[in-house]
Structure formats: C-alpha cells, structure tokens
Amino acid sequence: MYQEASFKTEQVVYAHTRSDEADMEYKMHCHNSYEIYYMITGNVEYLLEGRPYRPRPGSLLVIAPGCFHGLRVLDGNEYHRIRLHFAGEILSDRERELLLQPFGKSWGCLEEQFALEWYFHAIEDCGSYGKDLQDIAIRARILSLLACISAIYLKDPRRTYGAESQAQEVIRYINGHLGETLTLEGLAERFFMSKNHLTALFRQATGTTVARYILYKRMVIARKELDLGTPAAEAASRAGFGDYSTFFRAYRKMFGCAPTDKSAMELPDMDKSGDF
C-alpha cells in the first residue's frame, strides 16, 4: 500500500505519504532546498552525513541544503510522514536570518512536536488553490510554520543528533575542504588508518565510497553555482574540480547533458546514479 497527497510549485514540494512497504536499503541523496520531515508513525532510520537517527512519532527533522542523507524503512508497519521542501529564495534576507537558524549547517531534530501537524495540513490545503492565490497562501503558511519552529528552537536550542563516530570526523573534514585536493590516500594518512579500513568504515556509515561522496557533494556545489548563473568553468573550479574536462565528463554521466543545458534533471539518488 502506498498513498500520497502532494503538490509541487517552482519553489515548494509538499508530500503527505503513507506506506507499508519495507525497504532496508538507504536511498542516499541531497538537495539544494531546505527540507522538513514530520514523523507521524513508522519504524524508520535516517542516515544524515554518516549519523544514524531513528525518529519517534511527533519528531520534526530539519535538513539544510547539501546535507547528504538517506532513509530506510525497517518493517512493514505503516510509515506515515509529511515532507516539505522549499527554496531559500521564498524568504527575504531578514526572514532567512531569523527563520533558518534551526537548520544550522547540516540537520537537527526537535522531538514531540505534535502541535505542528496543524501547520502542515494548512499547507496541504494550498494544493487545491489557483496558482496566484496558492503562491501567496503557501508562502504565508510556510512562514508561520518556520516562525513556530524557530520559537521552539530558540527556547531550547539543544537539538537531537545521532551518535558521533570516526566516520563523522572524516565527513566533517571532507565537507570543510571540498575546494581542495582530496584523495583516499590523503584522508587515510590524515586520520591514521589504512585505505582499506577507511573505505570499509566510510561505506558502513554512508552507504557509498569516499570518492563517490566527494564527487556528489562537489556536484551539489556546482549545480548551485550554475543555478546562480556562474559560468560552467568557474562553477567547476569553485566546487573543487581540478580541471573542467573532468567536471564535464562527470556532469554528463550524472545528468545526461552538458553543464550549460538548463533542462538538466534533479540530482539523482546515490543508489540510482551509477558509478560516477
């Protein structure tokens, strides 16, 4: 059984989902949008930048752009959740400063937020509105939701995270040095472990290899730069690609088109993206 009520605009994706299909494989991905997940029921586990997290009913998971994450459904009991994606551009500069603090630079969770379900249903109602009215209503209701989340966060800014791990240290280093040369050999030396041990540790924590993780995260940066109008060669350089030809080949393999093609698809899930 799979049921979903959803709608999509240029800057917002909303989905209210019920499913009883178990899926023990993480579907790893990341987006250039902000994401909010509200957990209603289910036995699931998220993997967020190498940290596992099992949300309880009423948990609110907030994920910043570029955070590498995935989900697995652990059994056939009903998994019931609400998902909201929105572009930062929907907010003014002052609103971003005030309302995006709970997202930090990666992710966080606020538990036992049952009262927020009303806000999501108010956004869901916008799916039946005409476009002009819909744009106004969606923005107003997202602002209300973010204001409520921010008030909760500022009252108690301690956020729930998964357990710290050695792999997390490696991931944090990679994310902070994507513009520099990164190799498996260099990382293994820096963290005092063999290449084989690092490879096994990293795959266990993230579901992928060090090289594919680095490439994927750099491609996220490049896509963001391209969306902002940055020339392709400069976008590749800012994302940490050593030369444009390497970037071009990887981009074409991942998206099936050249970096200058504005019709490129969304970033693929890691498990569907092939050996790039």
The C-alpha atoms of residue 80 and residue 13 are separated, in whole angstroms, by 17
**Number of C-beta neighbours around residue 162 at 10 A:** 18
The domains found in the chain, sorted by start residue, are: 2-155 (2.60.120.280), 166-272 (1.10.10.60)
Q: What is the pLDDT of residue 164?
A: 53
Instruction: Name the token pair of 254.
Output: 């991942």
For 107-118, write each residue's pLDDT tens digit. 888 888 999 999
Instruction: Name the token pair of 263.
Output: 């019709």
Record the pTM: 0.75
Q: Is residue 225 within 8 Å of residue 238, measured between CB atoms?
A: yes
**Which pLDDT band holds residue 276 (cuts at 50, 70, 90)?**
very low
Q: What is the pLDDT of residue 159?
A: 58
Q: Is the pLDDT assigned to residue 273 strictly greater than 50? A: no
Mean of the per-residue pLDDT values of the chain:
87
The C-alpha atoms of residue 222 and residue 238 are separated, in whole angstroms, by 7
